[in-house]
Amino acid sequence: MITKILLVDDDIDDLESLNNIISDISPTIKVSVAKNGNEMIRLLENETQLPDLIFLDLNMPVKTGFECLRVIRSSEKWKAIKIVMLTTSTHWEQINEVYKLGADLYIKKPNSYSEFKDILSKCLEVD
């Protein structure tokens, strides 16, 4: 059961949408937010309870989703965290690369709230 999620995205609107959708799906899930990869690393280093799941944007300034994924998967402490890449990109090379780096799932960000909610409900295994 998922009790804690970390959202990592440089787009404030996407972060807000994700947070609202997760809240709609399951208001008991605790959500933390990072606006870039460096913030994500600082949060993970300082957390007493690690997230069960990270929704990670691929295309961010400062540290890309690829770089974040490498850091997480190379850490003994963090490598068991489930990672869902959530991005607008549909380039096969990028999709293949994130799976090689250890992503658990790759999702293209949908355009509608209801579509987004359906996808996230499946990710969170909530009916």
Can you tell me the mean pLDDT for 14-43? 94
Render pLDDT for 89-98 as a digit per residue (tens, 0 to 9). Answer: 788 898 999 9
0.95 exceeded by pTM: no
Residue-level pLDDT at 91: 85
Residue-level pLDDT at 100: 96
Query: What are the residue ranges of helices labelled H in the chain?
Result: 12-25, 37-46, 65-74, 92-101, 113-123
**Rounded CA separation 104/91 (Å):** 17
3-state secondary structure of 32: strand
| Residue 104 falls inside a structural domain | yes
| Residue 124 falls inside a structural domain | no
Render pLDDT for 61-103 as a digit per residue (tens, 0 to 9). Answer: 889 999 999 999 999 999 999 999 988 878 889 899 999 999 9
Residue-level pLDDT at 127: 40
Residue 30 has pLDDT above 50, yes or no: yes
The CATH number for 46's domain is: 3.40.50.2300
Q: Which amino acid is at 10?
A: D
107 alpha-carbon distance from chain centroid:
10
| Residue 11 falls inside a structural domain | yes
Residue 6 has pLDDT above 90, yes or no: yes
